[in-house]
Structures are given as C-alpha cells and as structure tokens.
Amino acid sequence: MPEILRRTIPATTVGAYLVSVPEQPRPMPLVVGFHGYGQNAEACLAELGRIPGSLAFVLVAVQALHRFYNTRNQDVVGSWMTKLDREQAISDNVGYVTSVLQALAGDRVGDDRLVYLGFSQGTSMAYRAAARGPRMAQGIIALGGDLPSDVGDDSAITLPPVLIGRGLRDDWYTEDKLAADLDRLRARGSEVEIVRYDGGHEWTDEFRNAAGTFLRRVLPAR
C-alpha cells in the first residue's frame, strides 16, 4: 500500500467586517464582535446595535473566514475553526483580527479604547483577540461560550475585566463549563462579572442590559 502524506500550505482568502459609526463629533471606542457558529456578521452587528447605549460606540462585526450555506434558507454563514489544523487556524484568525484593527486604524475609525464581544463559538475569538491581538482591550464580553484552553492554560496571559453571560437553560454552555472558566480566570487574578439570565443559548434583553452597563463602566465617556 502506498504511504499517504498530509501537508499543510498557506493560502489566502477574503475576510470582511461591518462597521457602524454613529454621527458623533467626539472620538468613540470600538466594540468588536464575533458571531457564533452558523451565523454571520450581519446578525452580530444587529445584536450589538440592540445593546442599550450602543450609539456611544463604534460597532464592528467580523465575519468568520470559513463560510458555508445555511441549508434551511441559503444564507451565507460561517465558522471560526474546526479541530483540523487547529493551531494554524488559531494563528490565522488572530492575524485576521489584527488586519481588521489595522484597517480600522488606517481609516481613523474609533479611538484607542476597545472591548471584544463574542457569542457562542465567537467567544473563543474574543478571548484570543484580547490575549494575543495587537491592541490592549479594556474588556471582554463572553456570551454562551467557554474560555479556550490555549488562553486559559497560558499563565503568561493577562486579561482585562470579563463579563460572562449564561442562560439558565443553555444546554451547551453548562454551569459546569462556567464554573471551570471562573476557576481559571480567578486563579490568574482576572476581574470577572457573571450574569445568569432566564433563557437558553441566545441573546436576551436581560443580558443586553448587563452588557450595556459593563460597556459604560469599562469604556466611560471622555
């Protein structure tokens, strides 16, 4: 039988992000969002815009690089990564976020303040961007997704204040996963705030209100 060899090779693809810039004369901080599995940047930006007080921020929604069709409605949606070539995918995604932030800076969009927000699979991206991205973040908002091991197990990483949201009926981001995240975050001295809300694996008004309060605290108006 012939020997089967598997090799990886760098390739390029097109990324995209959506930006909502309020008509304000003063500089405003960035809120950069990452959607969940099977979603897209449009859905993410819509949720960011529903957070109370969102008009005080420049909202950015980043589209996952790995796109596919939602077979129910043929919408183009995405996934951040799979277990295949995981380490390279992590590096590629962090580089992608770096390019987005560099493009925003080049366009003079937003000021030097920044919060990352992730939902479901996008939560890992929010943590990774804060841990390994090019700019210091003032906060992380993690909704319905866990702290990835490549961040949580690296004791050299310092994270900004974190808001974690979990629906009481969320069967994916369980209470056990939340407890494990709390242990790892608090062991490194991270400031963590928890909001448990009446709901499942989803955004709710209760969580949006908590996210708005958190943003106003870590990104106060200048």
How many CA atoms lie within 13 Å of 124's alpha carbon, on the beta-carbon side? Answer: 19
Looking at residue 142, its pLDDT comes to 98
Nearest to 147 by CA among 115, 114, 93, 190: 190
CATH number for the domain whose boundaries are 16-217 = 3.40.50.1820
| Whole-prediction pTM | 0.95
Looking at residue 173, its pLDDT comes to 98
Output DSSP code: residue 148: P
What amino acid is encoded at 6 in this protein? R
Token output for 81:
């990564």
Encode pLDDT of 165-174 as tens digits: 999 999 999 9
Longest dimension (CA), the chain: 69
Average pLDDT value over all residues in the chain: 94
Contacts of 92 (CB under 8 A, 6+ apart): 65
Q: Assess whether pLDDT exceeds 70 at residue 194.
A: yes
Looking at residue 219, its pLDDT comes to 93
Looking at residue 25, its pLDDT comes to 67
- The structural domains of the chain, with segments of one domain joined by +, span 16-217
